[in-house]
Amino acid sequence: MTKVAAVVTRFEQFAPKFIAEKGDPVGLQLGSLETDVKKMMVTLDVRPEIVAEAINNDVNFIFAHHPAMFHPVKQFDLAVPQNRMYAELIKHQITVYGAHTNLDNANGGMNDWLAAALNLQQIKPLLPSKELPLQQLAVYVPQAAAATVRQALAAAGAGTIGDYQGCSFSAAGTGRFVPGEKTHPTIGQPLEPTATAEEKLEVIIKPQQAAAVIKALRAAHPYEEPVYYLTPIHGLNAKYGMGRVGTLTKKLTVKELAAVCKQVFGLTGVRVVAQDLQQPLKRVAVLGGSGGQFYPAAVKAGADVYLTGDLSYHTAHDILASGMAAIDFGHHVESICKPQLAKLFTTWKQENNWQFPIIQSQIATDPFQFL
């Protein structure tokens, strides 16, 4: 059986928790990472109807974009529907994990999915890019075992640079040591000075990979006490950021782009902020969720229009005054995550030989209706 922890570890290689916005409650929401996954369901929200759907489908692991718990429970009053939902999750031993702004910020994550759905080109992060620090792992290994250790490091994900995998560097040298009296050295004898041909292997890893890579290193390394160290590096660091800005493949008017949004995201209506519905658009900024506060970044990026959700009255006036248009396509467009997450997890399932089924929630959780 596959533990929830194994699934989460693979996901966090894609969207580590530390790229989430400060204070965002991402990660384990309820249950145990040691739960054996029998059936997994991906969803946008964790609401009572979603939990009922999971129970009816014998799901014991819910993976959601929106955390089930944004605020801690101070009184577990079962008269409150949200608390009754927590009780049902506990009763049916369902583990819940939430990936919120780490999925928003991830390269290839939520905002890239939204940009791709609109067929935007020349895409860049909307908000200032942050850097994901990388580390160099160096380990000394006998030359005879170097290939085995190198392969184990690559299998654990070390040495990935862009689209290249298994990247490493080796330098030959001589290792010298004196085994202690109670040791059982692979090479040499206790208390005897020993010299042997070694290689220094160097690979680049992401911080969230460190534990798994070092575990693989120790398992493959022939020495009782392998010598290795980690060093922060600069220049190759991965960049990530919230939102995306790009260009349309052809110019559209505000009205035409609003119609595209309705069609692409299956919406019955959108809210439009524009001085002229026939204003031509080329450069588009998009940020899933509640992105009103970030509209100045869209203005600074030279966007003709800003696509986001939950625009407030006064923010809409400020956008109108800026001369930029905006389309509030709602928060629920983030339900695009369901098929995309299912696709990701299915790929990882095949790579890791996971045996559990993966399903998508079929319930729309948008609380709004347009009449």
49 among the known binding-site residues?
Answer: no
Cα angle 68, 74, 79 (rounded to 5 degrees) comes to 75
Can you tell me the distance from the alpha carbon of 180 to that of 130, in angstroms, rounded to the nearest whole number?
A: 47
Q: DSSP per residue over 182-212, as a string?
A: T---SSS-TTS-EEEEEEEEEEEE-GGGHHH
CA 17 to chain centre: 8
Q: What are phi and psi for residue 365, nearest 5 degrees?
A: -105, 15
331 among the known binding-site residues?
Answer: yes
104 among the known binding-site residues?
Answer: yes
Which of 119, 81, 102 is closest to 19 using CA atoms?
Answer: 102
Q: What are phi and psi for residue 234, nearest 5 degrees?
A: -130, 155
Instruction: Specify whether the CB–CB gap between 262 and 326 falls below 8 A.
Output: no
Q: Six-digit token pair at 240?
A: 């990530």
Tokens 């489908």 identify what position? Answer: 57
Q: Six-digit token pair at 339?
A: 């098929």
Can you tell me the distance from the alpha carbon of 300 to that of 232, in angstroms, rounded to the nearest whole number?
A: 33
Q: DSSP per residue over 303-323, as a string?
A: -SEEEEE---HHHHHHHHHHT
92 among the known binding-site residues?
Answer: no
Positions at the binding site: 65-66, 104, 331, 334
Positions at the binding site for a divalent metal cation: 65-66, 104, 331, 334
